[in-house]
Amino acid sequence: MDQSQSTAQPSGTDSGSQPLLALKGFTKSFGPVAALTDVDFDVSRGEVVALVGDNGAGKSTLIKAVSGAQPPDSGDATWDGRPARLRTPHDATSLGIATVYQDLALAENLDVVANLFLGQEEIAGTIPGVTVLDETAMEKKAVELLSSLGVTTLRSVRTEVAMLSGGQRQAVAIARSLLGDPELVMLDEPTAALGIVQTAQILKLIKRLRDRGLGVIVISHNLANVFEVADRIVVLRLGRLAATFEAEDTSRERIVASITGADEQERATEDTQL
């Protein structure tokens, strides 16, 4: 079982320094079901780590554990080498971890600016009892943020989100997660519902996050996307860490073998497609 882990690389090889976030021995059970068993994981600044695995492999459980939404039963986390507490979403946010869930959580009836700043609005001033919005400041920041991310397909930041394409919505959700100046962004299936052009745009956006020096964790089912964007690929299988690969030194076949467990039997001759 541990034979495949021999391919795992030591952590943080890219930056040479210590990882931004390192998890050790993360374990989580739902009743009798072991969703995560003794998982070690890390991500560095300026690194995109793809988290892959079949359905039920524990990808989402791991993300939720890191985001504080569902804390693990046991396991330790360090942030910049220091022990960190990840028991609530607030813990994660204040450390600098932002999560973009698959359902995006956007209000379709509001425009892009309103969605970006929802819950963290810019304020022009307060009259006793009421807080007045500073629309100008928010719009200006929104335009700057989106163009710095290379999001160029929006006609206007005053467009209702209901009128946006799936890719544009994803871009808005990612941009929104950046407003709190996070250092680590986790994206759950960011390209799942997107067409080819939009997928390419979102992948480009993810690379920009890396170029800004953020740590990025991406969950994806799509191995072609994973290879395009990831520096490191972490495979989970049945709640355990199956293997870690440097994206440059591996092949799609080896990843698939690791996901399916075929590499544990004597190298299967042919891999099934996902």
Partner 1 sequence: MSEPDTTIGTAPAETVEGFSVRRALSALGRGDLASVRVLLGIAVIWTIFQIANDRFLSAVNLSNLTLQIAAIATISIGVVLVLLLGEIDLSVGAVSGLAAGAMAVLSVQQGWPPALAIVAALGVGAAIGLFNGFIVTQFGVPSFVVTLAGLLAWQGALLWVLGDTGSVNLPPSIITDLTSTFFDPAIGWALGIGGVVIFAGVEIHARRRRQAAGLGVSAIAGTALKLGLVAAAVIAAVAILNADRGVPLAGLIVVALLVLFTFITERTRYGRHIFAVGGNVEAARRAGINVTRIKLSVFTMASMLAAAGGILAASRLLAVNQQSGSGDVLLLAIAGPVIAGTSLFGGRGYIWSALLGAVVIGSISNGMDLLALDSDVKFMITGAVLLGAVTIDAVTRRRREQSG
Q: How far is the CB of 126 from partner 1 (least distance, A)?
A: 9
Query: Is 136 a residue that touches partner 1 (CB under 8 A)?
Result: yes
- Applying CB under 8 A, among 81, 180, 195, 213 the residue interacting with partner 1 is 195
DSSP letter (8 states) at residue 32: T
| Shortest CB 258 distance to partner 1, Å | 34
Nearest-angstrom CA–CA distance, 134 and 185: 27
Q: Smallest gap, in angstroms, from Cβ of residue 274 to partner 1?
A: 23
- Nearer to partner 1 by Cβ, of 105 and 224: the residue is 105
Instruction: Please identify, among the stretches 79-87, 147-155, 204-212, 249-257, the one whose residues bind partner 1 according to the rule CB under 8 A.
Output: 147-155
Q: Which tokens is 199 given?
A: 């997928």
* Least distance to partner 1, CB of residue 217, Å: 19
Of 25-33, 45-53, 118-126, 232-240, the window that binds partner 1 (rule: CB under 8 A) is 118-126
Q: What residues between 199 and 218 interact with partner 1 by CB under 8 A?
A: 201
- Closer to partner 1 by CB, 52 or 106: give it: 106
Q: Which of 55, 90, 59, 87 is nearest to 73 (CA)?
A: 87
What value, to the nearest 5°, has the Cα angle with vertex 66 and ends 110 and 57? 100
Binding mask 47-86 for partner 1 (x = CB under 8 A): ----------------------------------------
Structural contact between residues 20 and 79, judged by C-beta atoms closer than 8 angstroms? yes
Which of 5, 9, 131, 251 touches partner 1 (CB under 8 A)?
Answer: 131
Beta-strand runs (E) in the chain: 21-30, 33-43, 48-52, 74-79, 82-84, 97-100, 123-127, 130-133, 184-188, 215-219, 232-237, 240-246
- Does residue 224 bind partner 1 (CB under 8 A)? no
Measured CA to CA, the distance from residue 245 to residue 231 in angstroms comes to: 9
Residue 133 sits in the site that holds partner 1 (CB under 8 A): yes
Is 165 one of the binding residues for partner 1 (CB under 8 A)? Answer: yes
Nearest-approach distance from CB 14 to partner 1, in angstroms: 31
Contact indicator for 273, 255 with CB cutoff of 8 Å: no
CB of 173 to partner 1, least distance (A): 10
Structure tokens at 150: 């290379």
- In 3D space, the residue among 232, 260, 258 whose CA is nearest the CA of residue 10 turns out to be 232
Contact pick of 40, 54, 91, 121 for partner 1 (by CB under 8 A): 121
Q: With the C-alpha atoms ordered 138, 140, 145, 146, is the resulting torsion angle positive or negative?
A: positive
Helix/strand/coil for 185: strand
DSSP string of 62-127, one letter each residue: HHHHHHTSS--SEEEEEETTEEE--SSHHHHHHHTEEEE-TTTT--TTSBHHHHHTTTS--EEEEE
Q: By CB under 8 A, is residue 118 in contact with partner 1?
A: yes
- Catalog residues that contact partner 1 under the rule CB under 8 A: 103, 105-110, 114-115, 118-121, 123, 130-133, 135-137, 139-140, 143, 146-147, 151-158, 160, 162-168, 195, 197-198, 201
